[in-house]
Amino acid sequence: MTQRKRIVAGNWKMNGSLELINQFAETIKTDLYPNVEVIFFPPSPLLSAMAGKGFNTGAQTVSEHDAGAFTGEVEAKLVRELGCKYTLIGHSERRTLFAESDAVLVKKFAKAQQVGLTPILCVGETESQRDADATEQTIATQLNAIIDKLGVACLQNSVIAYEPVWAIGTGKTATPEQAQSVHKFIRDLIASKDAQIAATLPILYGGSVNDSNSELLFAQPDIDGGLIGGASLKPDAFSTICASAVGNV
């Protein structure tokens, strides 16, 4: 079986503080998690402080535009200059609360790669879409928006995160079997276009992952780690999640 990178990423959303970064610096020792890449996505004002503690960092979003008259936006090139390696693209909260369309996300994905950032593309269905048996159709549309415009080769330097919208911040979690089924669908869809890329592409699960369920989720053959929300704000819980990824390398 092809060895894929294991990743545990913490999305702090609009939470966190300098004090919390110091707590994480005391608790999270990344050398304790061999073969697992640990990444933090704090709010933009905390990126420098997080990187200053030696952590891998990424931006929660970047603009599709270059420098210009875009008040409040985050320029991808500046994020890279701060030492960030990653950026989230298309988190469900960006798609819904900020009305980011697939067309805009294609531009953000391309801009991230242009400046040397690795995009983590978030895909996932709402509860109503799942109830309508439209999970696979929804995710295929989100993935193909990128592939059709940029070509499947763009996925070589990327990560996919499957986040069922109904499980984000709700306490609901897809069962390991449900999550694995969707991850396999994603990998098979990409394999239909390029088998080698599909075999090596990390696919993360996100959606109320915590220190109690991470081990079973990460044990699934097509789940390569997690994009963690609330539990990424708790140093001890996040440490346990990172350790559970090690056990399944």
Active site residues: 91, 163
Annotated binding site for substrate, which residues? 11-13, 169, 208, 229-230
Q: Three-class SS of residue 224?
A: coil
Q: Tell me the one-letter amino acid at 226.
A: G
73, 45 in Cβ contact below 8 A?
no
- Pairwise CA distance, residues 161 & 183, whole Å: 9
CA–CA distances in Å: residue 200 to residues 26, 31, 187, 234: 33, 23, 10, 30
- Pairwise CA distance, residues 67 & 49, whole Å: 23
Q: Tell me the one-letter amino acid at 119.
A: P
Sequence-distant (6+) residues with CB within 8 A of 78 are none
36, 45 in Cβ contact below 8 A?
no
Q: Tell me the one-letter amino acid at 235.
A: P
